[in-house]
Structure 1
Amino acid sequence: MIINIGTMIGNRYEVVEKVGTGGMADVYRAMDHRLNRYVAVKILKNEYSEDTKFVTKFRQEAQAVACLSHPNVVAVYDVGEEQGMHFIVMEFVEGITLKSYIEKKGKLSVREAVGIGIQIASGLEAAHNSHIIHRDIKPQNILISRDGTAKVTDFGIAKAASSNTITASAMGSVHYISPEQARGGFSDEKSDVYSLGVTMYEMLSGTLPFTGESAVAVALAHIQEEAVPLTAMDATIPKGISDIVAKCMQKKADFRYPTSADLIADLKMFLQDPEGEYGVVKPLYENTDTIFIKPTDVNRIKAASQTTTGDSGMTAAEPEDKKAGEEDSGEVDPKLEKALIGGSIVVAIIIGIVIIYVIGKVFGFWGGASGSTEATPTPEVTSSAASATATPEASDSAQKVTVENVAGMTTEEAKTALSQKGLSNVKVSEQQSDTVSAGKVISTDPEAGTEVEKDAEITLIVSSGTSTVQVPSVASMTVSKAKSTLAAEGFNAVEGSKVYSDTVKAGLVAYSNPKGGAQASKGATITLYISKGPKRTTTTVPDLMGMTKAQAKEALTAKKLVLGSVSTAYSDNVSKNRVCVQSKAEGTEVKTGSTVDITLSLGASKTYSYYSNKVTIDNPFDYESDPSSVFKFVLSQDGKTTTIREVSLSYSDFPYTISDVKGSSASSGEIIVYKDGKRLSSYSVDFRKVADE
């Protein structure tokens, strides 16, 4: 089934635009005509839809998340299959990924990073409580909505933690995977805690803790190396949050936070007391040895390079003892697997070159062995194999290389890959393709696998996109005439929603999507939008969020609306002098001429502390001659008690005054007086809010 703008899925979801693509699926924004809301539709790519393993893995996401209902987890609404196309319908989050947000800002402030970290951990806590492990936590899988809410998405490799077939061979992205995932061992909730720690490290520093020239190098770094402490990266980062992140990223899972709830508790406490001590790792044993990677761990990491892969990218050969119908236990992330295979190929080539060089030096193919040839007699070579090695044909063969398979790469990526093989004489030829995206390599001439001389000319056949034809203009036509006109050009026409139009009579075609004059693939679906006539009395409120005052006024004027009052407020999520609040929500239907008030951001909000008013303690002594006693004053507020002070006082010290005690909020509290360990009396106390400097 071909997906185009206007395609109806399940007679309910109308595709509006493509918003992203992943390893196995494409994501579209669509209109749910039954509930009149935008949704995100994830559609399994055609090349995987016939593979039962990929279909199972794809449907896993819906099964894993369908049972979750949490503000920090992207909701799943529907799952289905139509004409061999498998899809999941999810909540559409209007915003950006955390990865894009980090790249845009460079790095986040400590308060913002901790706030986002708490939200992610809250979403993970909900998943873990339902026995679901995400296994691929990374900034790319965290969406930040316009109101600043962080939502965990893409449970594509998650499985129920109670499943008997779980192993951590279901690896996430290599820069964020835990050591146990890199080794191919068992992964659990603490694996997600590790990946969240890496994510928080990147939020706070703007860099990844481990990098390398290959996926294997990065995976080994997760197992062997210690990340540079955040405090060493940036002296302004508090030690408390640096220690919390370090505890999340402990090599041994038992040294990390046992649950997301424990991590949340420390993060919240850090916000209240940044100078406190956090992230203390309690060793399981005294004198624990240094962790070294075992050879078996390296073999596990590189195991992917020893399997044969089929066209779909899945492992072609399954273990012989795998039972029929047994649930797939998860597989190495395809990108990591390709990187591991590529790394192994490079190693094999280097070893081959070294062997050829050594043999050549021994038999004198490279100009004789070093040293005096007169003092050392040369042995007579009678072996036919050795003789053949010295022939000119063998020397020419050593200059030949195999053309690498670069299909699917961009032109620059393909040129780089070929150049690394010694093939620098590369030409480019474009060709239309209905299966390969524009700008990607279709094939090479000579084809991949062919042995050629290093100076041979290699032609990259690059896709220029699908063959297209011009969409005829059908505006102001009757629906039947518009359909016949489009059919004559090879298009499939469907009726979309009805729309208001100031220029087209009701019942006629207002416009099409794609519009007349645009280029579209033959056989593409063209959506016809039918006019309801002019909309004279009402209009819809536009989205003003993030606009300047001038932009907001212009947008309202275009909708025949009036800008009302303009106020200001602090916002942690919207830049200064940009709209952070609008009085009427986007899409609200109102009368033309209505006013819409806006609030402009003053930037990030200030922080506040709370201090008590003065409290006078009455004299508890009966006589001036009474001996002094030990008095303890305890603050009780918001269900918590804190000792303010403990002093020895006598008759002359009273009445005793207590003031400016730091509280946790603006709510009222109580000061309890203890004399010689016994409760004596209590006094109510109010708190005032003071802006921090």
Structure 2
Amino acid sequence: MDTTVADPLLGALVDGRYRVRARVAKGGMATVYTALDERLERTVALKIIHPAHSRDPQFVERFTDEAKTIARLTHPNVVAVYDQGTYQGLPYLVMEYVRGRTLREVLAERRRLQPQEALAVMEQMLAAIAAAHRAGLVHRDVKPENVLVAEPPGGTHDLVDGVVKVADFGLARAVEASADETGSHLMATVAYVAPELVTDGHADPRTDVYSAGIVLFEMLTGRVPYEADRPVEVAWQHVDRDVPFPSRYVPGLPPAIDDLVTRATRRDPGARPTDAGALLAEVQSTRDDIGVDLTGRSRPVAQPTVIVPRVESVPQTYQSQPQRPSWARLPGSAPSPARRRHTSPVTAGPGGRLGGLLAQVNASPRTRLTVIAAMLTLGLLVAIGGYWFGVGRYSAAPDLTQYNREQAIQQAQNSGFKVKFAEAKFDARIPRDKVLSQVPSPGDRILDGGTITITLSLGPEIYKVPDIAGKEYDLAVADIQAMKLVANRAERFDDAMPAGYVVATDPQIGTQVKPGQTVTLFVSKGPNPVKVPLVIGKQLDQAKQDLAKVKITVNKVEEVDSDKPKNEVVSQSIGDGNSVTDGMVIDLQVSKGPALVTVPEVRNMELDEARKTLQGMGFNVEAQGFGTVRQQDPQPGTQVPPGTTIRLFAFF
């Protein structure tokens, strides 16, 4: 069945502007079509996201934000983004249409590339990715399918002069961010995924450096370094194994190629080039180096010097032709008489040849001047040559130790030198990405146009305590040890975390620590069988005693208005029945006591009337005698709590 005919988008007019012509490719996130921009009358590429992603409003929002960021990238090796919108609920991108093939298609046809071609393609890839890194973007899915190759004019298969463009910046991030909202997980293409994406989902420019190194490996060898039946097995091989040398599969590759791939694909992100720009500098340096190496290999082999037997001449008497050597005589020919050797007049006389030559020079002033001038010229040439080969072609190496990476490259280039980067090292004094050392050292001799090898500082060897809360203890210990830290186990009860899982750390997660420092992992013992007691209604002192019995400390006591007796507990911050945890503290609220009431004046009132008045105000009344109230206790005007007993004394 012809799938192009069945595609309902063919011939559609998207956004009243883009007429869909043909389907180019279909991937995991989107389908790509060619379309005619009827407004500007140009052919564009139309990438329409699959419905599975477009149903998520979080994805659509992030996709729009990423598209705006990508559109600001302006670089000749980046596939330009012209427009963005939604068609029938499906987000789409309008991009530059590149007439060519993907790198995947090139490799499918040619299997692998020559080193110079692979490095030429890699230079343009890294130039595009470096522009994204400078703009704060991480590609996250560098692979041959996202690299477009426009082969040079003329139909040549040499890719050294081809144009390379990188596509799909930010799309993997948009999909992964949307997936994170639902608790799922999106992983980059496993054949090219960096170890840190597998272990903790972290991505930065060094993640793209790793993936680019795997792409270079595949261009050189025609295969990816790891294969397995299940994708997850491939992904974990990136974590557990070092990428092999390309020369293991293609014998004869220059050692500089192996070194370059190894540097880009180190499992420790800190040991890789810091971003695509740093790797680009190393690729350019390697390309120059192996260019000389391969040129030397391609030269014709020099012919060895051999000894040819000497053929003596003989005097010529009767024959006009010289005597042939024995191995060249014609059949039946006879050897000719030996030729007489003529004596040169210069060699005649005392002193032999040298004496005759001196006599000839001295005989003519003009000849003498010519010989003297020739000797002076020869001496001057010897002196100049000696100076050039011994001193003149050398310069003093500039001091690059005061600069950062980019400044050092610029300073070296301004002085006419190339730069090569050695493996970066930690240093407690030199800030990260500043030059730690150089070879040759500042002031030492170096050939004009030579290469200075620079070692950059990784800064102090400091790590952050990883976020291991909620992980099983063994996995958490592995994360701690991977950061060169020492794990110490401590246990405590916790209602929320199952037994055996990490609850917290000391120092806290995210704290900067030095290698070898001990990090205490607090591991849950599960819920505490001891429960928080109910102390509401008890006096404060009694409540503190009950709480201390289960090792709960009273943190704060707050007095509040209440009709309860003074210092009676009316509230506790942790309810009764919860499990007690180690070091638990609790806050209590206690009554200030009921509000005081003023005792009224009831003296000189009839006893029954006085009793009714006091009882109406909430007092208790005790009366003695009868008739008129003559005395009362407490006295009128006294402030007393409600319910206080008032004693009355009555008589006539």
TM-score (norm 1): 0.40
Larger RCO, structures 1/2 (Cα 8 Å, 6+ apart): 1
Q: Please state which structure has a larger fraction of its residues in strand.
A: 1
Bigger Rg over Cα: 2
TM-score (norm 2): 0.43
